[in-house]
Amino acid sequence: MESQCSHSIVLLIICTILIALSWIGAMAKPQFTAMYVFGDSLSDPGNNLYFHITATKSNYLPYGIDFPDGPTGRFCNGKILVDFLAELVGLPILPAYKSPSTNGKNILFGVNYASSAAGILHESGSNFGHRFPLSEQIQHFKNTLNQLRYQMEEDEMSKYLANALLFMAIGSNDYSNNYLMPQIFVSSHLYSPGDFADLLIKQYAGYILELHNLGLRKFYLVGNPPYGCSPLSLSTGHAPPGQCISSSNNIVEMFNSRLKSLVAHLNSNFLDSQFVFGPSFQWFSELRENSSAYGLQVTDKGCCRYGPKNSELLCLPLQIPCANRDQYLFWDYAHPTQAVNQIIAQWAYNGSFSNSYPRNIQQMAQK
Ligand SMILES: *[C@@H]1O[C@H](CO)[C@@H](O)[C@H](O)[C@H]1NC(C)=O
Ligand SMILES: *[C@@H]1O[C@H](CO)[C@@H](O)[C@H](O)[C@H]1NC(C)=O
């Protein structure tokens, strides 16, 4: 093409247009109109930076050491799961709801409302200070809808919302920073593990119905990872060598099995909608138990470790992390590395049926 383009200005213009068209064609066409993210520190792109009083900020190196823009408030060395997912479905990386530039055209491809330490229950994570619990994240989504109403007609908007992807990954802090923290929270004194899971799912279901009423139709709902296998849990020394704390994992799994049932129930009740369960527990178990298949060498400690037991606090400002970050399952005491986030995003996007239930994100877009 280059030699033809050099002939004349007319040819040059035509070639430029052809190259531009092929470039647009090569760019992935968005598979959803937009993506809305609700969750905790696994998905937070920096919403907690706008709080004055919170113990959950990570806008300093070495957080972001492998992220194009450096530290952003993400709890990772690089990209988080929803960054990779946005790329896979052909959308730009989603802006943080609280960022001052998240308005006007910048909200058209979706917004990320996730907030570190947030849970389904309002009080979960309060030991860390300020955060946006799920109810407030949904309030923020309603504000976004009001802004969108200035930018599109009502019928256009209902089509737009019906073809948007909701991604929700929340519930970890209801365990790690509530139920499994009996010295601070009363929930484990008041509820059996099964009753507590019922309570969480009841509230969760209410929020999903609210989002459905607001017009969303495609829901990707991620379960809880195996908390008893996190570096934080393992640092307690309560797990047998090489194993996880199975009592914590069993309690967390009660939430997961109920969430999966809820998904089945919602699918049979709302035939115009899709509800999908993302099995985070299985993803992390697979990465831990078959680690070498994924190039992972360390699965029980974070790449950047700190704390009296060397694995229970955020990485400190300017602390030197491990050099071989892609060989670690965890970046710090609880959050996976960028390498792991990329693998998981691929599984959620187009892994086999046994991964996401009843279908993966790519199939959600096609259906
Ligand atoms: C590890 O891999 C083997 C062989 O592919 C598989 O049977 C097993 O289920 C995997 N383990 C986990 C926890 O997924
Ligand atoms: C999943 O999608 C990626 C591109 O994003 C592609 O390379 C890969 O082959 C796909 N895998 C399956 C199983 O469809």
357 bridge partner residues: 277
- In the chain, % of residues over pLDDT 90: 86
Residue 215 φ/ψ region, left for φ over 0, alpha for ψ in the -120 to 50 degree band, beta for the rest: left
Whole-number pLDDT of residue 2: 41
Whole-number pLDDT of residue 244: 98
Length of the chain: 367
Q: In whole numbers, what is the pLDDT of the chain averaged over residues?
A: 92
When pLDDT is averaged across residues 224-241 and rounded to a whole number, the result is 96
Q: Is residue 271 very low, low, confident or very high in pLDDT (cuts 50, 70, 90)?
A: very high
Q: Whose CA is nearest to atom 14 of ligand 2?
A: 350
CA 85–ligand 2 middle distance (angstroms): 13
Q: Residue 291: is its pLDDT beyond 80?
A: yes
Ligand 2 atom with the smallest distance to the CA of 352 is: 13
- Number of other residues whose CB lies within 10 A of the CB of residue 144: 18
Does the beta carbon of 350 lie inside 6 Å of ligand 2? Answer: yes
Q: Residue 26: is its pLDDT beyond 50?
A: no
When pLDDT is averaged across residues 60-66 and rounded to a whole number, the result is 97
Its CATH class, for the domain covering 31-292+339-366, is alpha beta
Does the beta carbon of 221 lie inside 6 Å of ligand 2? Answer: no
Q: Residue 312: is its pLDDT beyond 90?
A: no
Nearest ligand to the CA atom of 289: 1
189 has catalytic annotation: no
Whole-number pLDDT of residue 242: 93
When pLDDT is averaged across residues 274-285 and rounded to a whole number, the result is 97
41 has catalytic annotation: yes
Residue 21 CA: distances (Å) to CA of 18, 71, 323? 5, 35, 41
Query: What's the Rg (C-alpha) of the chain?
Result: 21
22 has catalytic annotation: no
53-71 core/surface letters (b: 16 or more CB in 10 A; e: else): ebbbbbebbbbbbbbeeeb
Secondary structure class of 111 (helix, strand, coil): strand
Contacts of residue 293, Cβ cutoff 8 Å, sequence gap at least 6: none
Instruction: Give the residue, 306 or 366, on which the prediction is more confident.
Output: 366
Q: Is residue 13 very low, low, confident or very high in pLDDT (cuts 50, 70, 90)?
A: low
Name the phi and psi angles at 86, rounded to 5: -55, -45
Whole-number pLDDT of residue 56: 81
Q: Residue 286: is its pLDDT beyond 90?
A: yes
CA 329–ligand 2 middle distance (angstroms): 22
Question: pLDDT tens for residues 187-212?
Answer: 999 999 999 999 999 999 999 999 99
Q: Residue 17: is its pLDDT beyond 70?
A: no
Q: Residue 353: is its pLDDT beyond 80?
A: no
Q: Is residue 3 very low, low, confident or very high in pLDDT (cuts 50, 70, 90)?
A: very low
CA 350–ligand 2 middle distance (angstroms): 6
Token code pair at residue 132: 């946006």
| Every domain of the chain and the residues it spans | 31-292+339-366
When pLDDT is averaged across residues 99-111 and rounded to a whole number, the result is 97
Whole-number pLDDT of residue 10: 53
CA 239–ligand 1 middle distance (angstroms): 22
Residue tagged active-site, from 40, 41, 115, 187: 41
Does the beta carbon of 319 lie inside 6 Å of ligand 2? Answer: no
Contacts of residue 148, Cβ cutoff 8 Å, sequence gap at least 6: 107, 108, 157, 160
Q: Choose among 333, 281, 284: nearest CA to 305.
A: 333
What residue ranges in 197-248 does DSSP mark as E strands?
218-222
Q: Residue 223: is its pLDDT beyond 90?
A: yes
Which helix (DSSP H) or strand (DSSP E) does residue 171 occupy? Answer: none
Q: Are 170 and 40 in contact (CB under 8 A)?
A: yes
Contacts of residue 121, Cβ cutoff 8 Å, sequence gap at least 6: 133, 174, 178, 187, 199, 200, 203
CA distance 65 to 273: 39
Q: Choose among 111, 213, 102: nearest CA to 158.
A: 213
Q: Residue 216: is its pLDDT beyond 80?
A: yes
39 bridge partner residues: 169
Does the beta carbon of 343 lie inside 6 Å of ligand 2? Answer: no
Does the beta carbon of 156 lie inside 6 Å of ligand 1? Answer: no
Q: Is residue 307 very low, low, confident or very high in pLDDT (cuts 50, 70, 90)?
A: confident
Question: pLDDT tens for residues 133-146?
Answer: 999 999 999 999 99
Nearest ligand to the CA atom of 366: 2
Whole-number pLDDT of residue 1: 38
Whole-number pLDDT of residue 53: 73
Does the beta carbon of 286 lie inside 6 Å of ligand 1? Answer: yes
CA distance 8 to 18: 15
Q: Is the peptide bond before 358 cis (omega within 30 degrees of 0)?
A: yes
When pLDDT is averaged across residues 227-246 and rounded to a whole number, the result is 96
Q: Are 220 and 362 in contact (CB under 8 A)?
A: no
When pLDDT is averaged across residues 104-125 and rounded to a whole number, the result is 97
Which helix (DSSP H) or strand (DSSP E) does residue 329 occupy? Answer: strand 328-330
Token code pair at residue 50: 């706008």
pTM: 0.92
Q: Is the peptide bond before 95 cis (omega within 30 degrees of 0)?
A: no
Beta strands across the sheet bearing 218-222: 110-112, 35-39, 165-169, 218-222, 274-278
| Least-confidence region, from 7-16, 92-101, 271-280 | 7-16
Whole-number pLDDT of residue 57: 87
When pLDDT is averaged across residues 65-90 and rounded to a whole number, the result is 97
Q: Is residue 311 very low, low, confident or very high in pLDDT (cuts 50, 70, 90)?
A: confident
Name the phi and psi angles at 117, rounded to 5: 80, 0
Residue tagged active-site, from 140, 248, 332, 356: 332
Q: Are 346 and 278 in contact (CB under 8 A)?
A: no
